[in-house]
Amino acid sequence: MKIRRMLGALALALLVFGMRPAPAGAVTRISASVDFYDELSPYGSWERVSLYGDCWVPARVNRGWRPYTVGYWVDTDYGWMWVSQDPWGDVPYHYGRWAYDSYYGWVWVPDDDMVWATSWCAWRYGDDYVGWAPLPPDAGWGGSGLTIDVSILDRRINRTGWCFTPVRSFGTQNVRYSILPPTRNVTIFSRTRNVTRYESYRGMPAVRALPSQELQRTTGRRFQRYQIADSRSQSRWARPAIRGRTIEVYRPTVTGVRRERSKFVPTGKGGSRGRQGVEQRRNDQTTRQERGVMQRDQGRDARQRAQEQGRGAEMRRQQQTEMRAQQQRDASQRRRSQEQQRQQQNERRRGGQGQDQGQAPDQGHQRQRSDRGRGQKQQPDQGQGQTPDQGQQRQRPDRGRGQQQQPDQKQQPDQRQDRGKGQGKNKDQSQDQSQDQGQGQSQDQNDQDKNRGRGHGH
């Protein structure tokens, strides 16, 4: 009886003083502290964002930076885990949510009860692409799954927030260099499907969105699976340590974050000391907002000027195009006019050549008769107007010396006029030459006749 009483008293003492051992698999729960905020303050600033309250804004990040880009994925018994290579550690990737603000960019939003997970991401898969994006702040953990319907995530997450990579690059430590630019997200988004799925495993969230077996069949590559264990390090918020096939992480559930946050902001802890620091930060935020409004106005004015300049340049290009088209039409019209003129000249030239061909043989016969007909008497009018009668002259045979031609062989002027109608300038020149040659021939023949008469007289 005494032993039983002693054991009962010992059990009562342990119950009263809280020395009861934790059950197997229980999750450690700690209260939020100022150290939580101080841990991130050197790497960014805490800003009050209208929709989400006080959020942490990372500093010194590259332009176009997105969460879950500087690091790599490993397969664990709790699903795909993100191993961060950012200088500020893994806390924002395993607790809380991320949101995009038009002024600050990507901000980390702590939750009231921050639960640790290998990652808080939405997933897409298909057509040899794998994609992930940070879950929005309203996607909470309900103990057995997300508190938001998966179909809503496609509307809640902006297209530029997704990170896509080829399947062959996923699961490697160089995946950060294979992430495609956001400009291709719209196209790849339509070629993939949402496979986001969370479930509870050993009392904690587990990512079951992308089975490694399916990726192994697709890529033909085997993925090493790691076992997650609690960290043995005494340092709070220590980074994960990979030891063989085990990853040691510090993963307590942080409770009362909102209450601690309400205490944190007025007291000015975590970077701004005292109320003066808080007021200074608010003034700085107001100044930044005013500067942002000014920058937006300046950007709008610059866009308007650029649009006006673009319209002016477009008008000038249209005018230049019309001028070039008009010049081409004028040049084409000039070429057609010149071609018509050349055709007309060729036709006139061919007509003149035909007339010349009909006259040239008669002139040759006239020269032959001039050479052979010395001593022959011709009528005085025979040398004039011979051009129309050249065809008849070719038919007359050369007669002997001393023979006289019949008077009726001479063509009348009216006949020459009738035949000469329609002939051009070349015909007139040929007639003039024929008249000159005929006059010369007539003078020679007259001289010969005189000489012969003198001889007969003697």
pLDDT greater than 90 at residue 71: yes
Contact 94, 204 (CB under 8 A): no
pLDDT digits (tens, 9 = 90+) for 347-379: 888 887 766 655 554 554 555 554 554 544 444
Q: Which long-range contacts (CB under 8 A, 24 or more apart) does 270-277 make?
A: 270/34, 270/37, 270/38, 270/41, 270/46, 271/38, 271/41, 271/45, 271/46
Contact 180, 162 (CB under 8 A): no
Q: Would you place residue 414 in the very low, low, confident or very high pLDDT band (cuts 50, 70, 90)?
A: very low
Task: Order across the sheet with 193-194: list the strands.
Answer: 163-166, 129-134, 121-126, 193-194
Domain ranges of the chain: 28-271
pLDDT greater than 90 at residue 196: yes
Contact 51, 136 (CB under 8 A): no
Contact 80, 210 (CB under 8 A): yes
Query: What is the DSSP code (8-state) at residue 224?
Result: P
Q: Would you place residue 255 in the very low, low, confident or very high pLDDT band (cuts 50, 70, 90)?
A: confident
Lowest mean pLDDT among 80-94, 190-204, 411-425, 432-446: 411-425
Q: How far is CA 423 from CA 214, 348, 428, 436, in A?
A: 100, 11, 8, 20
- What number is the average pLDDT over the span 285-312? 73
Contact 406, 389 (CB under 8 A): no
Q: Among residues 79, 83, 74, 178, which one has the least CA distance to residue 128?
A: 178
pLDDT greater than 70 at residue 59: yes
pTM (two decimals):
0.54
pLDDT greater than 70 at residue 100: yes
pLDDT digits (tens, 9 = 90+) for 13-57: 544 344 333 333 444 555 555 567 778 888 999 888 888 888 999
What is the residue whose two structure tokens read 């002139």?
A: 363
Q: Read off φ and ψ for residue 413, nearest 5 degrees.
A: -60, -30
pLDDT greater than 70 at residue 395: no
Q: Which residues contact 120 (CB under 8 A, 6 or more apart)?
A: 93, 94, 96, 97, 98, 134, 135, 139
What is the distance between the alpha carbons of residues 222 and 244, in angstroms, rounded to a whole number?
A: 17
Contact 135, 221 (CB under 8 A): no
pLDDT greater than 60 at residue 252: yes
Average pLDDT, the chain: 74
Count CB neighbours of 29 within 10 A. 12
The pLDDT value recorded for residue 150 is 86
pLDDT digits (tens, 9 = 90+) for 141-170: 988 999 998 889 988 999 999 999 999 999
pLDDT digits (tens, 9 = 90+) for 300-329: 778 778 888 888 888 888 888 989 999 999
Q: Which residues contact 172 (CB under 8 A, 6 or more apart)?
A: 72, 178
The pLDDT value recorded for residue 282 is 53
pLDDT greater than 50 at residue 336: yes
- What number is the average pLDDT over the span 201-212? 91
pLDDT greater than 90 at residue 117: yes
Q: Would you place residue 294 in the very low, low, confident or very high pLDDT band (cuts 50, 70, 90)?
A: confident
The pLDDT value recorded for residue 24 is 34
Query: What is the DSSP code (8-state) at residue 81?
Result: E
Regarding predicted confidence, which is higher, 316 or 196? 196
Q: Would you place residue 180 in the very low, low, confident or very high pLDDT band (cuts 50, 70, 90)?
A: very high
Q: Would you place residue 283 in the very low, low, confident or very high pLDDT band (cuts 50, 70, 90)?
A: low
Identify the H or E element spanning 263. Answer: helix 257-267
Mean pLDDT: which of 183-187, 369-373, 400-404, 412-416 is highest? 183-187
Contact 375, 452 (CB under 8 A): yes
The pLDDT value recorded for residue 445 is 55
Regarding predicted confidence, which is higher, 35 or 118? 118
The pLDDT value recorded for residue 305 is 82
- What number is the average pLDDT over the span 128-144? 93
pLDDT greater than 80 at residue 419: no
Q: Torsion angle, CA of 281/285/286/292, rounded to 10 degrees?
A: 160
